[in-house]
Amino acid sequence: MPPRARPLSPEERREQLTDVTLRLLRVHGRAVTTRQIAEAAEVAEGTIFRVFESKEELVDAALARAFEPGDVVARIEGIDRDQPLSARLLSLVALLQQRFRATFDLMLKVELVGPPGHLHDSEEAEAWRARLTLLLIDVVGDDADQLAVPVEHFLHVLRLLTFAGSHPRIADGRLLTPEQIVETVLLGLRKRD
């Protein structure tokens, strides 16, 4: 019998179980059991059903957590704006690739072909994309005048190439490095003398 769980509020317990389930989904996919979740969370299996109606509701909460921005905002804000544009973009692409790869691995493990519709096609998701665009524009900063296209288009192309170049199936198993992505986009979209 597992040890008695530390008393938590229902919301704290939901958060704890969601985090544990997300971690286990990355290993076991949808085959994860409530018993495994309970053991990893060090709670009795019945504790899960005091804060979640079903395993499916818990898995949905964990998948929603996976698509939240998490620490991405702080990490983008932490990119040193005093570096040259290419160095800033390398940091940005490396960060985005980590995020994309973790998401792709999880999606493959739980057999998703795309993000859940309610997470991608919502007002909240649209607000996050708008915020991300502003963060990325800030990374480019005053160097936007070096670009042959509007900064929003430049960033769109950079994100698309990063996405495609980070997905093992889209890239036919030949993933692009941050250097390859940044060099391709800068060479293609920088102003020429």
pLDDT, tens only, 119-152: 667 788 788 889 999 999 999 999 999 999 999 9
* Confidence at residue 5, expressed as pLDDT on a 0 to 100 scale: 57
Distances (CA, A) of 176 to 88, 147, 156, 164: 17, 22, 17, 9
DSSP string, 66-113: HTS-TTHHHHHHTS-TTS-HHHHHHHHHHHHHHHHHHHHHHHHHTT-S
Mean pLDDT in residue range 20-45: 95
Residue ranges covered by each domain of the chain: 10-65, 69-189
Q: Tell me the percentage of the chain whose pLDDT exceeds 70.
A: 94
Is the pLDDT score of 36 beyond 60? yes
CA-based torsion, 137, 140, 144, 150: positive or negative: negative
Structure tokens at 5: 């769980």
* Confidence at residue 22, expressed as pLDDT on a 0 to 100 scale: 95
Mean pLDDT in residue range 181-186: 94
Distances (CA, A) of 62 to 1, 19, 186: 25, 7, 37
3 — pLDDT class (breaks 50, 70, 90): low
d(CA 76, CA 136): 8
Mean pLDDT in residue range 69-91: 94
For the domain 10-65, what is the CATH superfamily, name and number? Homeodomain-like (1.10.10.60)
* Confidence at residue 67, expressed as pLDDT on a 0 to 100 scale: 83
6 — pLDDT class (breaks 50, 70, 90): low
DSSP state of 144: G
